[in-house]
A and B are shown apart, each in its own frame.
Chain A
Amino acid sequence: MEPFIQVSGKAAPMLAANIDTDVIMPKQFLKGIDRAGLDRGLFFDLRFLPSGEPHPDFILNQPGWQGAKFLVTGPNFGCGSSREHAVWGLKQMGIKALIGSSFAGIFYDNCQRNGVLTIVLDEPQVQVLGKLISQQDTAQIEVDLQAQEIRLQDGRVMPFKIDELRKNALLLGLDAIGSTLQKREQILAFQQKHLAENPWL
């Protein structure tokens, strides 16, 4: 996994509440057995007109926010289906981090497993940030994971919290399975005891 250390880029506002994973990645893009082509499917019904042309109203199609690396999101972003395709699509579009007041649980974990940073701020802070980056000339921000800071165009700095475990995994781009399998003996020992106590398992 590619490490996340310090990233600069444009941030796009997407502040509606409850943007679900059906909207992020519609059903017709879920039919693969690999991760290919999900950048095309991302926000498909919002991003494209029925003709297939880019929808001029969609934020990531607008000149000021094309190539954005961050999304500033409304409450409960990523709710609904567990489909990781939503996160694969975001990643393929070049999104490195999402900043919002709350994320749905499964989506939040899926981001973590793919090296996409999710930053939770208080709602008022999200509003301040959302307002600022909604202006084209102040849409550029820098996210520094090591320092746990978001640096804004106007010089302000927003600190954020993150669990050390998550932070290290992102900074190092750790392979979660490899790390867990280093505890193989511990898992085996636990399993032996667990099955002895619950032989129907």
Chain B
Amino acid sequence: MTPTRPTSRTLYDKHIDSHTVCTLDDQGHVLLYIDRQVINEYTSPQAFSGLREAGRDVWRPETALAVVDHVNPTAPQRVAAMADPGGALQVSYLADNCEKFGIELFDVLDKRQGIEHVIAPEQGFILPGMVIAAGDSHTTTYGALGAFGFGIGTSEIEHLLASQTLVYKRLKTLRVTVEGGLASGLTSKDVIMALIGKIGASGATGYAIEFTGSTIAALSVEARMTICNMAVEAGARGAFMAPDDKVFAYLKDKPRAPKGELWERAVARWKHLHSDPDAVFDREIHLDARDLEPMVTWGTSPDQASAINGSVPDPEAIADPILRQDMRRALTYMGLEAGMPLSDIVISHAFIGSCTNARIEDLRDAAKVVRGKHVADHVRAMIVPGSTAVRDQAEAEGLAAVFRDAGFEWRQSGCSMCLAMNDDVLAPGDRCASSTNRNFEGRQGAGARTHLMSPAMVAAAAITGHLTDVRSLQGSF
């Protein structure tokens, strides 16, 4: 039995209530039914081995979709063979497991291959109202479709494969209301980076976020994905938005979306997926989009971020001793001096890629900035499209030619230099303007330094060779 809850419910309550098989205690634990999972080559092997050792089967294999994305090379010429023996073993073991357990797999040569959180929406594999769990922290991305997605570890993947469920503890609810129009040159990346900067890297730990407000409503579905994707960098275990007509239009003709009469029924049901008007959230935050400026990180945690026209902060001005020590450590690692203007930071690399910002709209934004310009001589600039389909579309639209002409490497799809598990790795001391999600120490390579920002801002930095307010580049916006 579901315990008595107020009649007015949040979107989160509705998702959890409708997926609760049974409650397990009076402290919020439930057995939660999971509609879909996406599987990659690096967090799944031990889960499949566990099933094999216990002689267990996969409960509902058609609800899982596997893709190679984390370890594959992104060199422009795509081949099945991998030079890296560890990655090759993970890829072949994934293929074995998918074969044995009847799970569909997109391998590197598949036209539908790409980063898991890019291809799953692209395929219409994720639908409003679903609850999704997957072995990757950025599973929160699916919130943009009105689905509740969250990351899990390998033991949980095994549990999910075996039972279609997880032992789950209900989260508290946080509503983030963003109001006002975004100025030219600003993107949804700046919105989420500003939020993370405001509430901190653990500011939403223990919470599920629902985003709402006029700014969110005005964003495209892809732009919303960036926000939900990076909400995990504030500690949120899930972040979503009520699905609207934009979401339905986005999904309508996707390969796996329901068709015909079933589609009509589905949309009619999805229209009820919103928080009740008088639903009470555990916490509320308001953000005014009109106050925002393009954001960049200067430190080694995603919350160590400022507006581009600011300067590197001074640790000695921080009262809290832990924060002060963290900031000192971050600035030492990043090789930055307090007080230095952020726009004076010279980069060696520019990277546009990742599940956060490598969809077609991101590439269009970046192309608009670089068209007719050239990458600075001292910068190596790379574009790694979020999926093979995005790559194909960018080629068809002429964006690939814009990037190549400007001196960017135009590569194949994968997670690539976001976490550098493949051969796209920075060297110690390299400094990268990056459209990714994490600026952790060593994330893009041991000793390498990452500055997070929007794809348009990465494009601007690639052209000038230093962190740059994209709005100052003539003809960009």
Chain A contact residues, CB within 8 Å of chain B: 15-18, 20, 22-23, 26-27, 30-35, 45, 74-76, 79-84, 87, 102, 104-106, 109-110, 113-114, 163-165, 176-177, 180-181, 183-184, 186-187, 190-191, 194, 198-201
Contact = CB atoms under 8 A, between A and B. Distances in A.
A26 B442 CA distance: 8
Interface of B: 18-19, 21-22, 24-25, 27, 29, 31, 33, 35, 42-43, 45-46, 49, 54, 56, 59-60, 71, 84, 86-87, 89-90, 93, 127, 129-130, 135-137, 150-156, 158-159, 162-165, 167, 169, 201-202, 205-206, 235, 237, 257-258, 262, 265-266, 269, 301, 322-323, 325-326, 329, 419-421, 438, 440-443, 446
8 contacts: A22-B441, A31-B71, A80-B438, A82-B151, A105-B150, A105-B206, A106-B153, A187-B163
A11 B45 CA distance: 32
A144 B24 CA distance: 25
Given A23-B440, A81-B419, A164 B266 contact: no
Contact of A31 (B35, B56, B86, B440): B86
B43 A82 contact: yes
A157 B50 CA distance: 39
Contacts of B162: 177, 180-181
Contact of B152 (A106, A186, A187): A106
B195 to A, nearest CB: 16
Given A104-B235, A106-B151, A177 B164 contact: no
Contact of B262 (A32, A33, A165, A200): A200
Contacts of A184: 163
B446 A26 contact: yes
B153 A23 contact: no
Contact of A18 (B151, B163, B301, B446): B301
A33 B89 contact: yes
Given A33-B46, A76-B205, A164-B27, A17 B326 contact: yes
A30 B22 CA distance: 35
Interface centre among A102, A106, A109, A200 (most CB of B within 10 A): A200
B201 A16 contact: no
Contacts of A106: 137, 151-153, 237
B442 A199 contact: no
B325 A16 contact: yes
Contacts of B262: 199-200
A188 to B, nearest CB: 9
Contacts, number: 185
Given A45-B446, A82-B43, 18 more contacts: A16-B325, A17-B322, A20-B438, A22-B441, A27-B421, A27-B442, A34-B46, A74-B322, A82-B136, A105-B150, A105-B237, A113-B159, A180-B163, A194-B19, A199-B265, A200-B258, A200-B262, A200-B265
Contacts of B130: 201
B329 A16 contact: yes
B90 A31 contact: yes
B54 A104 contact: no
Contacts of B84: 31
Contacts of B25: 163-165
A20 B137 CA distance: 12
Contacts of B165: 180, 187
B322 A23 contact: no
